[in-house]
Amino acid sequence: MSRNRGTRAGRATKLAVAMGVVALAATGCSGQEVLRFGWPKGVTPQSDSMVTLWTWSVIAALIVGVIVWALMLWPVIAHRRKGDTIPRQFQYNHSLEAFYIIVPLIMVAVLFYFTVDVQNKVEKKVPNPDVKVNVIGFQWNWQFEYPDYKTPDGRTVTTTGTSQEIPLLVLPSNKIVDYELRSNDVIHSFFVPQFHFKRDVFPQPEKNNQDHSFQNSIDRPGSFVGRCAELCGTYHSMMNFEVRALPDNEFKQYMDLRTKTNPATNKPYTAAEALTAMNCGELCVPHAVTTKPFDTDRTARQESG
């Protein structure tokens, strides 16, 4: 009977270990991915410093967790009731009490120091960024203005998203970009997961006493999805955009076109027309590749029930 129970327990342990190994292997995670603890790969120096902080904070939390779990399980298993005698008591142990007050205080101080250090890096701004972009959130899309670039008719170069078209925020890689955030209506939030950064987009940010700008640099060319991260009404989930980071020479080419008149339409080049004209491969695809527009036609939905 007891041998039977032993083999059953042994089999259960083996099965649990095997399932654990399969679960780990099935995630297909590399060492670096595991150490990011669920975060996507960052594309800015700012995101790299945040990942380092996150990784070490989780490791510290896990070490504390393992010690706490061990201290909880140890008395449960090793000090089970064996008779009527009360075991040795440990209350009013001053050195133990001092230890568990001082050690957590040191841990909080260390975490605080590194958090402030990383926050200062992330919030750092230079007086002369390479590119300025005004990000305007509205129900339910985005508009990107480049205040330093004008079209032949004297207007600011602007890209506005529609229900049919995801707006592309075209930027140069390896340059300092300044984002000025503003809303036309309710509060939105500018979020690019690979930046590891989001910031609320307020109407009248000055009145709300909000720091409505931030700076970063994207350290590689590529396409990155952006989202609204503040519930802002019916079509909040559809407020996606795409950051398209081009090598600097291609960004110059892009802006050169956007500040000119397209002979085919006799109007300034749109974002899509400029990218098509550049014909530079997958970075110049004139529509978003990370996300697609949603059908916002309410009447069509009502008809289909």
Q: Which residues bind Cu ion (CB under 5 A)?
A: 188, 228, 232, 236, 239
| Residue bearing tokens 């500040």 | 259
CB of 168 to Cu ion, least distance (A): 18
3-state SS, residue 197: strand
* Alpha carbon distance 273, 278 (integer Å): 9
Enter the DSSP assignment of 41: P
Strand partners, 141: 138
Report yes or no: 141 and 166 within 8 Å, Cβ to Cβ.
no
3-state SS, residue 79: coil
Tokens (6 digits) for 216: 């970063």
* Alpha carbon distance 20, 36 (integer Å): 20
* Residue among 199 and 258 whose Cβ is closer to Cu ion: 199
CB of 194 to Cu ion, least distance (A): 19
3-state SS, residue 200: strand
* Residue among 139 and 262 whose Cβ is closer to Cu ion: 139
CB of 138 to Cu ion, least distance (A): 8
* Residue among 188 and 258 whose Cβ is closer to Cu ion: 188
* Residue among 141 and 253 whose Cβ is closer to Cu ion: 141
CB of 208 to Cu ion, least distance (A): 16
* Residue among 201 and 274 whose Cβ is closer to Cu ion: 201
Tokens (6 digits) for 118: 């990383």
CB of 140 to Cu ion, least distance (A): 6
